[in-house]
Structure 1
Amino acid sequence: MSHLLDPGFELTLRPMHYPQFYEMYRNAIKNTWTVEEINFQIDISDLHDKMSPADRHLIHRLVAFFATGDSIVSNNLVLNLYQHLNAPEARMYLSRQLYEEALHVQFYLTLLDNYLPDPNERHKAFAAVNNIPSIKTKADFCFKWIDSIHDLRRIETREHRKQFLLNQICFAACIEGLFFFAAFAYVYYFRSRGLLPGLAAGTNWVFRDESCHMAFAFETVQVIREEEPELFDADLEEKIYAMLAEAIDCETQFAEDVLAGGVAGISTREMRQYLEYCADNHFQRLGMAKRYHVGNPLPFMELQDVQELTNFFERRVSAYQVGVEGEVSFDMAF
């Protein structure tokens, strides 16, 4: 019986051992969007005319984080995850995820070009991982986990397997599930004020992609749990709790920075509670007990699914899938 983390390079797609990964790949292919469809014209006038200096500080910090965030994820995919998930159907999904991360990088590049017309400001944003302390803290946290398995060429031992799991969980639960989820919350906060529709439209698509990336990562962890339950001991659980606590601290530090000017309608305390709420959801997906036991303090995030529906009659919805064939009527369940 082969396992997902067995060393080597399995090439056989039939019989397929993990059809769920192949289905995830196929579903990802159906969900295709392009950066060229996003219009930033209203955003530019919003930035100039409708936003306070505190609002603009928040946006500048946010786009500086976006500038390199997905590049960090892409590097981890290629350098650490692809070689160790030993199923060709899983690697098919990762290859699609890598494309989507590149698309997100393109989106954020275009966003920065529109939001920061001054070349010096743009340069500072792209160098944020070095010179903005609250972003450097997050980047350092990411690199600590990337480097933890960077020299691991073959997964041979139980400790190697646990190292891999902690890297995978870090990327699903902390980087995509806390750092990016908090970033999306700021975007949807502005949308709730009727601001920055281009950023919100692109973020809808990125948010949907990231949710699929997380679902894939959590599914790989679940498969490994079923195949090798002995890896999921008290020691691993304690490390996961500690990892997410550290990520929440990093992101709270970022919140203190981005909200430093006093942004009406959102506070550092609420952001920390939202992070704890997200972390508890991740613990449950990992088969672990909640740690924080708090509700979602951001009502505009509860409306996220509703927004997907209300977008339906716009030019193109963010939940759109290419290649829908046959008859479609409005009372059909999609």
Structure 2
Amino acid sequence: MRYPDFYDMYRSAIKNTWTVEEVDFSTDMRDLDTRMGPAERHLIRRLVAFFATGDSIVANNLVLNLYKHLNAPEARLFLSRQLYEEALHVQFYLTLLDTYMPDIQEREQAFRAVEEIPSIRAKAAFCQRWIDSVQTLDRLETAAQRQHFLLNLIGFAACIEGIFFFGAFAYVFFLRSRGLLNGLAAGTNWVFRDESLHMAFAFRAVEQIRAEEPDLFDEGFKARVVEMIVEAVEAEVSFAEDLLQHGVAGLSLADMRQYLQFVADQRLSLLGIPIRFGSRNPFPFMDLQDVQELANFFERRVSAYQTGVVGEVELDAAF
């Protein structure tokens, strides 16, 4: 096996199996109706509209671009599993739509977010510029073509999953820190675990490509990566301006910008590129999110869920 790390990541992903049916939304509607004001409800509507379209963009990129050119069998095992998880995320977000937006017209507007909501349209335009442009490449025969594909891979991991989705997760976990929308938080926690492994795989792939072809990572290429990440931060800040336009107590635009800059610096560091912003994480609840929590004995389901049977199975054992 030439790339055992990719195979190990595939096996780790299998252990993180969960289903949407296990998410309990029973208290969420009460929170929306009685415990949250117009500003928080606007935030949730925008967030759900982004979720409804965001993972579809990710899934398209997996099928049309990444699988085509990351052709090591171990890598394709992981990408196949990731595609299943992206479909699971889409199912989760569709369930959110059905639960949070019972009005059919409101749901239809959410599905048209990339055309009708400027802050989401800007993020879709970012994806089209940096991600979709590689679709015309059938083979990566030149260094320029390989760099073009690498920009797609880095944009996919560092910007879409690593900035756009991590920004969205911050809103959810902020609300969770206030005891709100436990169903959304529980499902998002499992999505967070999936996305973290997706990013780890993509950054490991970038690291492997860099080891095999170091000349691809010249100063011009690094400058384009920085340009792309800075553009992603600005697009996500514009989304934050939309979400927070009515004022959400305890969550400021300045803090959100600082958090996005902090996350962007983390992605640059993983790529071996000097940080751009020098910002610190203003959200303690996001620091806690990266820590494995102890499961309460009476908890309905452990967040670190793993599938599989442990031990030997004897079919003729006496019960």
The interval holding the TM-score normalised by the smaller chain is over 0.9
Partner of 2:79: 94
1:97-108 mapped onto 2 (5 Å cutoff): 97-108=82-93
Q: Is the contact between residue 74 and residue 98 of structure 1 (CA under 8 Å) also seen in structure 2?
A: yes
Aligned pair 1:237/2:231, yes or no?
A: no
1:20 aligns with 2:19: no
1:1-334 alignment to 2 at 5 Å?
16-306=1-291, 308-310=293-295, 313-323=298-308, 325-326=310-311
1:243–1:233 Cα change, 3 Å = same
Deviations 1:215-257 (A, max 9, x none): 0000000000000001111011100111010000000000000
| CA distance in structure 2 between the aligned counterparts of 1:57 and 1:31, rounded to whole angstroms | 32
The residue identity in structure 2 corresponding to 1:274 is Y
Structural RMSD (CA): 1.3
Report the CA distance shift for 1:41/1:219 in structure 2 as closer, same or farther (over 3 A): same
Distance in 2 between residues matched to 1:165 and 1:291, nearest whole Å? 20
Assess if the C-alpha contact under 8 Å between 2:131 and 2:155 holds in 1. no
SS of residue matched to 2:69: coil
The alignment partner of 2:42 has SS state of helix
Question: Residue 86 of structure 1: CA displacement?
Answer: 2.0
Give the drift of 1:294: 1.3
> 1:13 maps to which residue?
none
* TM-score, normalisation: structure 1: 0.91
1:285-312 Cα distance to aligned partner (Å, 9 max, x none) = 1111111111101122122145733566
> Bigger CA drift: 22-31 or 190-199?
22-31
Aligned residues: 312
Residues 31 and 320, structure 1, Cα contact 8 Å, conserved in 2: yes
The residue type paired with residue 266 of structure 2 is N
Greater shift after overlay, 21-30 or 165-174? 21-30
Residue 291 and residue 122 in structure 1: after superposition, are their counterparts in 2 closer, same or farther (change >3 A)?
Answer: same
> What's the TM-score once normalised by structure 2's chain length?
0.95
Maintained 8 Å contact 2:131/2:156:
no
Secondary structure in 1 matching 2:293: helix
Aligned-partner residue type, residue 85 of structure 1:
L
Tell me the CA shift for residue 200 of structure 1. 0.2
Cα distance in 1, alignment partners of residues 309 and 44 from structure 2: 36
Residue segments in structure 1 that go unaligned for 5+ positions in a row: 1-15, 328-334
For structure 2, the 5+ residue unaligned runs are: 313-319
Alpha-carbon distance in 2 for matches of 1:291, 1:310 = 37
Task: Give the letter for the 2:74 counterpart.
Answer: E
Aligned-residue sequence identity (percent) comes to: 67
Alpha-carbon contact 1:311-1:318 (below 8 Å) kept: no
Q: Is the 8 A contact 1:308 1:317 kept in 2?
A: no
